[in-house]
Each structure stands twice: as C-alpha cells, then as structure tokens.
Amino acid sequence: MNILTQEIVIYGVLGLFCLAIIWIYVRKGQKASARVREKVDIAKREGRFEPLSLHPYIDLDTCIGSGACVKACPEKDIIGIIDNKATVINASSCIGHGACFHACPVEAISLRIGTEKRGVELPHVKPNYETNVRGIYIAGELGGMGLIKNSVEQGKQAVENIAKSGKEPKEGVLDLIIVGAGPAGISASLMAKKLRLSFKIFEQDSLGGAVYTFPRSKIVMTKPMDLPLYGKVKLYESSKDELLNLWNEVLSKNKIEIQERSKVEKITFADNEVFKVILANGEEYLANHVLVAIGRRGSPRKLNIPGENLPKVAYRLIEPERISGKKIIVVGGGDSAVESAMLLMDQNEVTLSYRKAQFARIKARNREKIEEAMQEEKLKVIFNSNLVRIREDEVELKIKNGDQEELVTLENDLVYIFAGGELPIKFLQNAGIEITKKFGTIVKKHK
C-alpha cells in the first residue's frame, strides 16, 4: 500500500469517525427533543402549559438552543430544548425569577405578563412604582413581580423614589404609610428608616405576609438579595423560618415596629394632597405617601359553606410538626394544598379533596412526591370532590363520578382550605388606582 492509499484510508476512517460522532450527537438531540415534546404534550393536557403570571417568552428566530436558560432555571421542567430551540413546558409553575432571561447569551428571552388568550389584571404602575394616583406607590407581587428578591428590590427602590418626590413634611402627617409586611414592605420600611422618613407599616396578618403562610419547610428563596441596613443576604435553599428570623433580627435591631393584625380598609384623600389611611378597627392615619405592598391574593378565598366559621377551620398551615393524631381534610389542588397535606401525612390521617379530575398547576417536584405518597397510601386523594358542609366532628363531601354524585361523610378533626385568595381589586379601585388587563405585555427585555 503506497503512501497515497494509506492517506486515503486514514482520512476515510477519520471521516467515518466524525460522521459517527455527528450521528450520535444528532440522535441524542432527537431523543432529548422527543422527551421534551412528551412533557409539553402532558403539560397541555393537564393545563400547565399556559402561564398564570410572569413568564419567559422565547424568540425562536433569535434562539440558538444553547440550553443556558434550562441550566439557569432553579425549577424543574419549566423550559426545555426541542430541535435546538428553547421552549416553555410547565409555564404555570414559573415563579418569575428571570434567571433564564439573564442567562440567555443571545438575548432571545423576554419576561411577559399574561398571554394573547389569558389576561392578567394588574394595577397601573409607572417605572418609578407610582400609580396613576400621585403619591400612591405599589411594589412586589401586586405589581406582577412576585419573587422575594424582586419584591425586596422594588420595595427599596420605591421608597428611594418617594424620598425624591419633593413633598414637604407637614405637622401631624407621616412621610409614608406602608401597607403589607411581606418582602417588599419589610424592605421598604428598612429603606424608610435609612432615609430618616417618618412612617408606619401595617400588616393584616403576620410578619412576612404571604411568606408567613408557607408550610414551615418550604424553600422560599433561591437567589441572594440586598436588604437595606443589613447588606447582602445569601440564604440559598432557605426555609421560611430562616427568612422570618432574619427579618425579625434586622427589624428589631433597627427598632422598627410592624403593626400586625391591622388591616387597612381604605385609602382616601384628606385635603391638600394628604392621604387618610383607615384601618378596619376605625383608626385613622395621615400620610404624604402610601406604598401598597400586599400580595395579589389579598384575603383568603372562602368556600361559603355551612360550618366554615368553626374554630377547627384554617386557611394556612403553621408548625405542622406540632399536629399529630388528627383526622384532617385539606381542600385544594395547588402547591400550597399539596405541600401542606404531605407535611401533615406522617403523623395524621390526611385526606386531600380536589374539585378537578387531576392535579394541574403544581410544580413537578410536588407532583412526583404526591404521586409517590398516594402509591404508598400515606394519604388519600379524592378527585372530583367538593367540601359542602363542616361539623364539629365530621365533614361532608360531594363526589362526582361521571353523571352521578355521591354525598360522603368523613370523621374529621381539622380542616385546611387552600382555595387561593381574592384579588384586592375593589380596595385599589376605591383608592382611585386604575386596573388593566395585560395580554402578553413585556415586563422586561434586553436592551
């Protein structure tokens, strides 16, 4: 064999080797795409493909399929890759952290509110967080950005803008009243203290707002945040307790008192552009500015059924480890209901009642865990069921089976209802704040 022939053979072998590598790479990509397609089909059937609020929108003409967005997302199966293009899978489980947005190397992702079909009602808020009513600001989840880190940043920035508003101090009038002591409200109070503003902060429930209602072991933050008067907070994989303890520590250190169990009933004008804030107990306060930092859910949604006012009924789960030996029914099919049921199941007899035929908008990790718990008979799940009556020692469920309905009575000690919350639209509109429905509106895009 001469040298030329040898070279031809060598190059031929190398060529075949390269083709084999390419074939393996393409085949691997095809299999991965098929798996993602299957996940998308399942998400569509189960109602998890359509986003509920803030979510990533992918420009397929720009996307190069690098997969950076998939790797950056701390949640499972929110984004995947099909045929070298990114696609949203379980959009309804997106928590709006924006990690995919920042990770994309070609700026193919924007963050949007609502879709062309599904609108999301949001108050009118300017870039400086002021509403259409001069002097009333909104920060946090109510404005569409619910992640704790985002809410903290917005609360801080809103107060910085308030301090620059130019309104003159008035005797007997506070510089600022903060409504809500969740992440945005706490951050706002710390910034107000730092800027030496006179202020009060009211919370209808307890410190932490919606965070306080999370089950004890729920992870509530996956990114660091910059907290005024404290600095950088790095509580990766943190629990609710860790976060609440931190907030208590920094508030106490800076002598900030939060008036808990103080629901703001109404915001109205007094005179001379001064706001009058009226509490549910009748107390009234005057302020130059108001920052509304409440959650989108407002007050817990009730079922309005007989017996719902009994002491054994609750709309949040606190310290589940202290509850044992009880017959419990949990109502709801969202993440809060599922997580609460699983936290209670080891020490109690738990039944989860859900009005639909299957779980729809829950995180993939919760779906896997609840299905495993059902298989191991650690708890009982009754689909197509509605709680219709609550008594001292029992409950009544109406269960639908095809065209037939059956009324079932269960022994019961405790009832937990997770039916979402009422949007505080009327409260905002009474203050003069405009509410608009957003259909695929861009919230954040690369410059």
Position with higher pLDDT, 143 vs 40: 40
Domain assignment of residue 200, given as a range: 121-298+424-441
Together in a domain, 169 and 283? yes
Give the N- to C-terminal CA distance of the chain in Å, as an integer.
62
Pair 107, 145 in one domain: no
User: What pLDDT is stored for residue 161 in this prediction?
Assistant: 94
- pLDDT of 151 reads 84
Cα separation, 174 vs 284, whole angstroms: 12
pLDDT band at 340 (very low <50, low <70, confident <90, very high): very high
- Residue ending a domain, among 68, 97, 113, is 113
**Same domain membership, residue 129 and residue 260:** yes
CB 89 within 8 A of CB 49: yes
Question: Which two tokens mark 266?
Answer: 């109404």
- How far, in Å, CA of 151 to CA of 442, rounded? 18
Q: According to the model, what pLDDT value does residue 337 have? A: 92
User: Which CATH number does the domain housing residue 355 bear?
Assistant: 3.50.50.60
The chain-wide mean pLDDT, for the chain, equals 85
Residues 54 and 94 sit within 8 Å (Cβ to Cβ): yes
At 185-195, the pLDDT tens digits run 999 999 999 99
- Residue 8 sits in a domain of what CATH number? 3.30.70.20
169 and 294 inside one domain: yes
Q: How many CA atoms lie within 13 A of 427 on its CB side?
A: 24
- 196 occurs within a structural domain: yes
| 372-389 mean pLDDT | 95
Provide the pLDDT for residue 136: 94
pLDDT for residue 25 = 67
Same domain, 201 and 292: yes
Judged against a pLDDT cut of 90, whether residue 295 lies above it is answered with no
Q: Do residues 94 and 130 make contact, with C-beta atoms less than 8 angstroms apart? A: no
pLDDT higher than 80, residue 446: no
pTM for this predicted structure: 0.71
Supply the pLDDT for residue 204: 86
Asked if pLDDT for residue 138 goes beyond 70, the answer is yes
Report how many domains make up the chain. 3
pLDDT, tens digit, 9 for 90 and up, residues 430-445: 999 998 887 877 776 6
The answer to the question of residue 447 being in a domain is: no
Residue 446 lies in a domain: no
Residue 144 belongs to a domain: yes
pLDDT average, residue stretch 27-44 = 83
The residue among 210 and 303 whose pLDDT is bigger is: 303
- Looking at the fold, whether 245 and 161 belong to one and the same domain comes out as yes
* 107, pLDDT greater than 70: yes
Do 17 and 144 belong together in one domain? no
Considering 113, 129, 163, which residue would you say is the last residue of a domain? 113
Is residue 158 included in any domain, yes or no?
Answer: yes
**Range scoring the smallest mean pLDDT among 103-117, 216-230, 344-358, 389-403:** 216-230
Can you give the pLDDT at residue 122?
80
Measured from the Cβ of residue 64, the count of other Cβ atoms closer than 10 Å reads: 13
Do residues 146 and 140 touch, judged by C-beta distance below 8 A?
yes
Whose structure tokens read 């997770």? Answer: 418
Work out the average pLDDT over 248-275. 90
32 within domain boundaries: yes
Residues 253, 328, single domain; the answer is no
Mean pLDDT along residues 108-115: 84
Considering 51, 82, 113, which residue would you say is the last residue of a domain?
Answer: 113
Same domain, 311 and 285: no
Q: What is the pLDDT of residue 307?
A: 94
Residues 127 and 101 in one domain: no
Instruction: Give the pLDDT band of residue 157 (cuts 50, 70, 90).
Output: very high
Gap between the Cα atoms of 221 and 246, Å rounded = 13
Residue 101 lies in a domain: yes
What band does 300 get if pLDDT is binned at 50, 70 and 90?
confident
285 & 308 share domain: no
pLDDT (0 to 100) of residue 74: 74
pLDDT of residue 217: 53
Tens digit of each residue's pLDDT (9 = 90 or more) over 386-400 = 999 999 999 999 999
Residue 210, pLDDT score: 64
* 64 inside domain: yes
Same domain, 213 and 100: no
Residue range 2-20: mean pLDDT, rounded: 69
In this structure, of 80-84, 120-124, 349-353, 373-377, the range with the lowest mean pLDDT score is 120-124
